[in-house]
Amino acid sequence: MIITNQIHLKMKKTIFLFILSFSLSFAQQDTLPFAEIGPYYEDFTAETAVARMIEGLGFRYYWGTNSLTAEDLAYKPSSDSRSTMDLLEHIYGLTEMVIYTFEGKEYPTGTHYNLTFEAYRSETLMNLKKIHDLLMNGSTISELSVKINYNGQTMEFPFWNAINGPISDAIWHTGQVVSNRRASGNPFNGKAQVFLGKLMQ
Domain boundaries, the chain: 32-199
Tens-digit pLDDT profile for residues 78-107: 999 999 999 999 999 999 999 999 999 999
pTM, to two decimals: 0.84
Query: Is residue 30 pLDDT above 90, yes or no?
Result: no
Flag whether pLDDT at 138 surpasses 90.
no
Indicate the CATH number for domain 32-199: 1.20.120.450
Residue-wise pLDDT for 48-57, tens only, equals 999 999 999 9
Query: pLDDT tens across 58-84, in order?
Result: 999 999 999 999 999 999 999 999 999
What is d(CA 118, CA 183) in angstroms, rounded to the nearest whole number? 21
pLDDT tens-digit series, residues 168-182 = 999 999 999 999 999
Report strand pairing: 153-158 vs 192-193.
unpaired
List b or e across 28-39, with b for residues whose CB sees 16 or more CB atoms inside 10 angstroms.
Answer: eeeebbbbbbee
pLDDT above 70 covers a percentage of the chain that reads 85
Provide the pLDDT for residue 26.
44
- Cβ contact 60:150 at 8 Å: no
Residue 17 has a pLDDT of 38
Mean pLDDT within 122-139: 96
